[in-house]
Structure 1
Amino acid sequence: MREVMAKIAIVGAGQAGLHLGIGLLLSGHQVTMLSNRTGEQIAAGTVISSQSMYGMALGLERELGIDYWQDSAPQYAGAQMRVADSDGNVMLFWQGAMDEPGQSIDQRVKMPVWIDRFIELGGDFRLVDAGIAELEELAGSHDLTVIASGKGEIGQLFTRNPDRSPFTQPQRVLALTYVNRFRPRPGIPAICININPGIGEFVSFPGLTLSGACEIFTIEAVPGGPMDVWDDVKTPEEHLKVSEHLLRTFFPLEAERIDGHLELTDDKAVLRGRITPTTKYPVATLPSGAQVFGLADVVCLNDPLTGQGSNNASKGAKIYLDAINARGDAPFDEAWMNAVFEEYWDYARYPVAYTNQTLGQPPEHMLRILKTAESDAGLAHLMANSFNDPKSIAPWYYDAAAAHEFLDGRTPVAA
């Protein structure tokens, strides 16, 4: 029987791991964190993600007192969606205001500060490139081991759940860029999603990086399509040149925001890759029989198209934190881990569906909703706030019958 305060190990010093670790330390637990990079190495490295975050997730950071950039980082208080072809012919456009503003803090800025806070609170921060042997040691010396980051052999410990994972291969080729000389959109700052049907998407929003305010954008190319041209790109300069070319060619209305030519915020402000959206079973068993508990992208990985990844990480960390604090001196056994993950999945299934539905061939009811939002300001407002909480538009955004009942019963709000 252990004391009520637990010994928790966390592998991964990212959005989820540090959020959970700091919360656990503030609750009085002993926490060991393994990371393969120091804060200084993270700050000096390549950009990690786009990390567009909204009111709910930012509020969870505020609860822990780690929202250090609340008043200094650019905010965006709106969302827009445009569907247009390569000639700029617009098929659909809506925009709406968010009830709470969003922010994006370069994780090269954010994570080092959070690591310092973790250590300041008494956390045991270890620079270790963890493998199975390290997990065995942690599991043997701690009450619970949480895997908040893991590739290679660690990532392979967790098994794909086919019932919750409709895709078996990447749905987009991703190219992330932090830039200057890209003017703000007209009107209030916003997350802007632009769709060129069958070709891909361009998503942009304001952010804060090492050098200050910037614009962050992701080009999402349909594999095998005309924007899937990244295989031979090697340097940051080539990445920027290709990005500007694709923006001017396939998203000419957004390209009007370019002030002369795009400029990288720094020479490590680019990232490329392919993600297969996947949900896994949350418990993995080590060779010894000890079990570890997956968190965030390790067990629920989304394509970044709808900007849900960091928000899911924050919300998952909060659910895990509350569950650990409520456990008392009962064991963190497999049944408990699965129950906690199911509590998280009760929320996460909505951002997963939200993103997956956008990646695939849009169902007719979804197109009807988005088209109606053009002329119904109330619906545009609901859709703008769905970035913050995709569960808020259930069931009508995800179910055809519910969608038609919802729309047929609405009284449109004029713009």
Structure 2
Amino acid sequence: MTHVGIIGAGIGGLYLALYLQQQGVSVTLHADRTPDELRQSRLPNTATYWSAMRQRERQLGVNHWDEQAADWSVRHLHLRIGPEPEPLRFHVELDEAGLTVDHRLYASRLLEDFADRGGEVVYGPVRPESLEPLSEEYDLVVVSAGRGGLTDLFPRREGAANFTQPQRFLCSGIYRGIELPPPVGTYLSFVPGGELFHVPVITFDGNRSVLFFEIVPGGELDALLNVRYEEDPRKFDRTVLQLLEKAFPETRALVDDASFGVNRPQDILQGAITPTARRGYAQLPNGKWVMALGDVHVVNDPLLAQGANAASACAFLLGEAIVADDLAFDEMWCRRTEAALWAYAQNPFDWTNYMLRDPLPANVARLMAAATQDQRVADEFGNNFATPERNWNILASPERTDAYLSRLADEDRAR
């Protein structure tokens, strides 16, 4: 019987473990922290789970937040592009709501689900020198955690739209004392120098708001670059309010000054990442092959909230490949399987990296302007966050964007 070892209990590792468990495949999950340790840790991300990922949740039976999501989900997208006082605006009511759940709450519960269903979990870090002995223990090892040098095993993918340095400084936190006006959903604001996302999140204390700044270094929003929350929480909160006042006055108007602030000391994330795609398989010195998953395979900037969604999709693709063909996890199997994963992951990776340009590319600006005048354009753009290949198909070149808009105009003339 096939026995798979999974290193890492992020979204990719958890979804793969739960999928294989559901399919009757023997799985051992290596997690560096227990559920209690996860719940007590610092906020690692503020990912939104779009409708396709929520469908995978239901397939795995881990859709624990449906009742809370009824009135605190990403049912609507409100987009603002350009500085005040006259930005472009459009609104989308999504066909199916997305959801943001505090990752510490989400991952700890899924880890408990896997264990409660009979899954074997080994707690503690796995270092690169441990991979070779683990590969002798399992039929296949999947690396889904990049800590401790494990990522270095997988070379950067040639020909991919990789960056060599971060494109944004990230500052994301869970806040109290700020409203989300109806209809509840996510507000995305694009201004010179970066972006702000105001997102409904379900956390330990109930319903709160995420404020997520994506800041272009050296741009107009870089006041947060050198202000660390843990060094001076009050100064940090004041700086956030000043930044809202300067660049996002509509969001600033939603703040109750008396109660505003980071929800809890551990509810803030500051840092930067370099968007990187790596080859999704590697050979160990003993000749065994290992697969990469999640951020080990592809690191997306969180600008378009695609990282967790891509990790869950690739986990299912990898799980399907393991179930369909377990004759030998050799180089041919790895190469063929990784090609299927990259065929999916490349679309959100390329689309996100394209949207990281500051200012936005001209064809993206044209599409956004069209969305303010034509609800069909707005609805397709918003709903395609769950199917990123469709948005990238429209935006991959100016010619594709123009052809898409021309087709809609032709349809109007034909009526």
Q: TM-score range by the shorter chain?
A: over 0.9
**Corresponding position of 2:150:** 154
Q: Does 1:193 align with 2:191?
A: no
Q: Displacement of 1:23 after TM fit?
A: 1.2
Q: Which residue of 2 aligns with 1:241?
A: 238
Structure 2 CA distance, aligned partners of 1:51 and 1:389? 16
Q: Which moved more, 1:106-115 or 1:70-79?
A: 70-79
Deviation at 1:325, TM superposition (A): 1.1
Distance 1:182 1:218 in 2: 13
Alignment equivalent of 2:281, drawn from 276, 283, 293: 283
What's the secondary structure of 1:99's corresponding residue? strand
Match 1:216 to one of 210, 226, 234: 210
Distance 1:381 1:176 in 2: 27
TM-score (normalizing by structure 2): 0.93
**Secondary structure of 2:401's match?**
helix
State yes or no: 1:357 paired with 2:351: no
Query: What residue is the counterpart of 1:204 in the other structure?
Result: 198
Q: 1:370 aligns with which of 368, 371, 374?
A: 368
Task: Report SS of the residue matched to 1:48.
Answer: coil
Task: Provide the alpha-carbon RMSD of the alignment.
Answer: 1.7
Cα deviations by residue, 1:18-68 (Å, 9 ceiling, x for unpaired): 111011111111111111111100001111111101110010010010111
The corresponding residue for 1:41 is 37
Shift of 1:259: 2.1
Is residue 335 of structure 1 aligned with residue 332 of structure 2?
A: yes
- Equivalents in 1 of 2:288, 2:198: separation in Å? 43
* Aligned pairs for 1:6-405 within 5 A: 6-73=2-69, 74-85=72-83, 88-185=84-181, 187-197=182-192, 199-228=193-222, 229-235=224-230, 237=233, 238-260=235-257, 262-327=260-325, 329-361=326-358, 362-405=360-403
Deviation (angstroms), 1:232: 4.4
Contact 1:34/1:125 (8 A) holds in 2? yes
Contact kept, 8 Å, 2:228 with 2:236, in 1: the verdict is yes
Aligned length: 404
The amino acid that maps onto 2:334 is M
Task: Point out the more displaced range, 369-378 or 144-153.
Answer: 144-153
Q: Which runs of 5+ in 1 are unaligned?
A: none
Tell me the distance in 1 between the aligned counterparts of 2:300 and 2:204.
26
Q: Structure 1's 232 and 205: CA in aligned 2 closer, same or farther, altered over 3 A?
A: closer
Partner AA of 2:251 in structure 1: E
Give 2:216's aligned amino acid.
V
- 2:66 partner SS: coil
Name the CA distance, whole Å, in 2 between partners of 1:243 and 1:135.
43
Structure 1 residues 307-316 or 399-408, which shifts more? 399-408
Question: Cα gap change, 1:234/1:263 in structure 2, threshold over 3 Å: closer, same or farther?
Answer: closer
| Secondary structure at the counterpart of residue 37 of structure 1 | coil
Structure 2 contact 177–261 (Cα < 8 Å) conserved: yes
Rounded Cα–Cα distance in structure 2 between residues aligned with 1:101 and 1:36? 32
1:398 positional shift? 1.7
What residue identity is the alignment partner of 2:238? K
Q: Secondary structure at the match of 1:57?
A: helix
CA deviation digits over 1:83-136, x for unaligned, max 9?
232xx2223211111100010111111111111111122222111211023212
TM-score by length of 1: 0.93
Decide whether the 8 Å contact of 2:202 with 2:208 is kept in 1. Answer: yes
SS in 2 for 1:170: coil
Does the C-alpha gap of structure 1 residues 91 and 234 become closer, same or farther in structure 2, counting only changes over 3 Å?
closer
CA distance in structure 2 between the aligned counterparts of 1:263 and 1:125, rounded to whole angstroms: 37
1:146 Cα deviation from its structure 2 partner: 0.5
Residue 217 of structure 1 aligns to a residue whose secondary structure is strand
Name the amino acid aligned to 1:210: F
Flag structure 2 segments of 5+ consecutive residues without an equivalent: none
| Cα pair 2:74 2:100 within 8 Å, conserved | no
| Distance in 1 (alpha carbons) for counterparts of 2:300 and 2:21 | 28
Name the structure where helix makes up a greater proportion of residues.
Answer: 2
